[in-house]
Structure 1
């Protein structure tokens, strides 16, 4: 007899949603397994705490990419949440859905039921929008969305400069058309981070039919023939093999899910045989990796209040801490990026293909100290990259990290868009609203005008914005890993529900689309959608 009806592997952005929804049925036994620990670390809940969670083994898997030719051979840190709530516990908290055209493309690729009109109700279902329900927003759901609790004069002026450069103002990036410039909305409540563990497991964790297991790393899926029947995991040095009567559901993310599948014998046959893993089912697991590469353009400024200067002194840091303690406002309440803009890299582009994350600060690289001079960073990423990478195991040992190779800037088209992105940034910074700050470009630095020169410059300064997807993509063609119901093709009793199933990356940040995927999957599993 199986101990559980459903075993969910990964208590991240998708897994917490699934566990909450599936356990609403009192007769359904659900086991949720998380390799990390509980989300009881204070820096998980204080918004600025992402600085202390990323790179911290308590909350982050600590992945790195392979050497990237398009980035001059650099290897990037590749944060992924290893804690209840997963990446929603360490990410930038930005609430963004992408564009209606993203999901209509999914449907046109053969994924019936995944068009914008199909998925929009699932965004609204979870949402608890600060301004109440409307055509585009839901209220009363678990996923709180609020305005940010700070603003910066220099960001206000950047917004006006963007308008002068032809990007219209907007107050809402989530109507299906995200074009424009404005402040991001965030997943916070009264100045505290909202993660999926808090939002979706808060009440559900007390249900007698839901068990949550932490500090338990799943090593592989167990099969009887071609049916998934459970998982093998290691906890406190001991091996356990819980069994599932209905389904095993992998929600370990775009890196963890393909690693588990490959270790279980589901993946590229030659790769599995190289490591002595018997092939249960050959599939393109781990291929098709897509990610957003952000080009971190930075400018020295004069006469501006920026975080660089505010945080230089003990008195400045004390004032920041006191403001948050008293009012839950100020820099400690801020998302990594406050102002956003979605723009077209060319008039030929049908919908915006560039996203700006604008910050009143600068540093050499993520995790390093702020510069000691006032500055602004206008990070810009290509929303629909052509480059494709992979995630592949490098050992049959589950504790050994896989090879992560995003293959950034590997196509001529991506290089052209990178060059256009830098040119647009320069055009915005040259507009009259920014003139009083006397901006001086130091990343990538003045000079370089041709597409080739600017693409090379982009490769020197760019880094991931942490949006890996599509490594177990859905579809109906031979290269698809899961079908439109997210069932692993060729296998019974096994489903994937996380960002790895996206057939194409969304035109925006990927956390809330992952929650939508889990909401829709829960209805499909329960026979409601």
Structure 2
């Protein structure tokens, strides 16, 4: 078997991996290989228009299409777990929302053994990522690769919703990525002139011409190559053939929170009981591998209007949809140029909450779902919301299904396991109802469609959330950073006990952040690149 050698090997081209491949090859001093399992590239037909997410959410050409195991915490149903499988990873199929989370998220990481990861210490990396006219120079970047804009108010609904939120004491926030996240706001989005910005388009595509950077798509990592307690390379399968590559300096795993623990376990790193169960030789014991799984979990709420042309419902169907497509093709404008959930609310569940602990993802149309997957915009005039707690506490796990690298991982979610989670989840639904029942929306809403007026008590609301909820695709935590016995990486993202190996992706988050995960993962990639280069 022929084996090539590079200074650095990055496994995965997503939010963290795409950034790493660019930054590690930037100086020209180091040879870098980026392995990506997906075969589609930066200009795949559905990845550039933001609304194309609906055509990728269940598309095997660009999506791993995982399913969780059933569990009583989510109605004994499997939960659909989409993950990007193309250049740019999930940044190429997501809803293009820019959201950093809150100061408390990163200060919490620092307090859990993540020295160097406080808000003030990661803020420069957030600024390095972005190019935006929004907000203050104190918080926002002006010259980074990812363009950040504010979603346009393409329907009368938006101003009405803002007024309703203000009527229930939720303030308008001109920049939720600034000094404070709290308030109602138009979503900030990663796009430019109606085209998605991902790590594929903004980090990898511009770097492809570098002689010292090699990007191999269609290359699924099957195991790490270990010599004793040092990682020296990667085995992968490409075009039906098993291949391997070697690293002179380091291998950095950016496979994501679903696949990083899987690759570690396939390589003999993890909980001995799990490895031995599948006939895998234990190379290094790390019981935290695959544990600490977290995600945001929410039930969809929707309301029907009694007045036409307030929402975008009609623009998603018939001749109006064709008109919108033409508008997008010519001007790169309209709702096709925007992602899903174009309005955000960050609110406190009660006056006792010290900071916003619930989030509402608001859309000016009713979503039709099937099996937890967005299918289309309903023709019924109305709007919808996902309302959920921001900082989940219950944890699940992700482990290998077998020793076969092609087998999908076993995903075991656990939700609403603490009294605080259950209480806050119910309050999130009640808070969303407060906004919908406030003027001027109150006079325009004909009925609450979901969960409906019959669902009123705390128990009924909780049951609705359990039985109909879905993840918001913010899967984190399965190779957590820290200094306790269940930590997988240290504060410099080095895998504990294995030399030459780091992990940089959402799996290293010890706790979930207050919002979307793609931008924080880009921050992780930027910070990891600096740490790797500092150690050369």
Q: How high is the TM-score relative to the length of structure 2? A: 0.96
Q: Does 1:138 align with 2:141?
A: yes
| Contact 1:7 1:249 survives alignment (8 Å) | yes
After TM superposition, list the pairs within 5 Å mapping 1:192-271 onto structure 2: 192-271=195-274
Q: Are residues 1:359 and 2:366 paired?
A: no
**Match of residue 400, structure 2, among 393, 396, 409:** 393
Query: Shift of the alpha carbon at 1:370?
Result: 3.1
Pair 1:466 & 2:470 matched:
no
SS in 1 for 2:405: coil
Alpha-carbon distance change, 131 to 354 in structure 1, aligned in 2, over 3 angstroms: closer
Query: In the TM superposition, what are the counterparts of 1:2-401 in structure 2 within 5 Å?
Result: 3-37=5-39, 38-131=41-134, 134-283=137-286, 284-305=288-309, 306-313=311-318, 315-365=319-369, 366-401=373-408
Q: Shift of the alpha carbon at 1:149?
A: 3.7
Q: In structure 2, what is the Cα distance between the partners aligned to 1:109 and 1:407?
A: 22
Q: For residues 128-154 of structure 1, what are the alpha-carbon distances to aligned partners after superposition, in whole Å with 9 as ceiling and x for unaligned? A: 113487111111111111122443211
By how many angstroms is 1:173 displaced?
0.9
Moved over 6 A (4+): none
8 Å Cα contact 2:54/2:375 also seen in 1: no
**Alpha-carbon contact 1:10-1:250 (below 8 Å) kept:** yes
Distance 1:461 1:249 in 2: 37
Partner secondary structure for residue 222 of structure 1: strand
Q: CA deviation at 1:486?
A: 0.1
CA RMSD between the two structures: 1.5
Deviations 1:108-163 (A, max 9, x none): 11211000110000011121113487111111111111122443211221111111
**2:527 alignment counterpart:** 520
Looking at structure 2, the residues matched to 164 and 149 of structure 1 have their Cα atoms a distance apart, in angstroms, of 22
Deviation at 1:310, TM superposition (A): 2.5
Corresponding residue SS for 2:292 = strand
Distance 1:140 1:408 in 2: 40
Q: State the 1:437 CA deviation.
A: 1.1
Q: Distance in 2 between matches of 1:506 and 1:121?
A: 18
Contact kept in structure 2, 1:93 and 1:335, CA below 8 Å: yes
Provide the C-alpha distance between the structure 2 equivalents of 1:76 and 1:199, rounded to a whole number of angstroms. Answer: 32
Q: Structure 1: which 5+ residue stretches go unaligned?
A: none
Q: How much does 1:294 deviate?
A: 2.1
Residue 517 of structure 1 deviates from its aligned partner by 0.6
Verify the 8 A CA contact 1:154 1:304 in the aligned structure 2: no
User: Which deviates the most, 128-137 or 233-242?
Assistant: 128-137
1:214-251, Cα deviation, whole Å (9 max, x unpaired) = 00110010100010010110101111110001111100
Deviates most, 355-364 or 265-274: 355-364
Contact map agreement 2:154 2:335 (CA 8 A) in 1: no
1 CA distance for matches of 2:455 and 2:55? Answer: 36
Higher mean C-alpha displacement, 242-251 vs 124-133:
124-133
TM-aligned CA deviation for residue 528 of structure 1: 7.7
Tell me the matched-pair count: 528
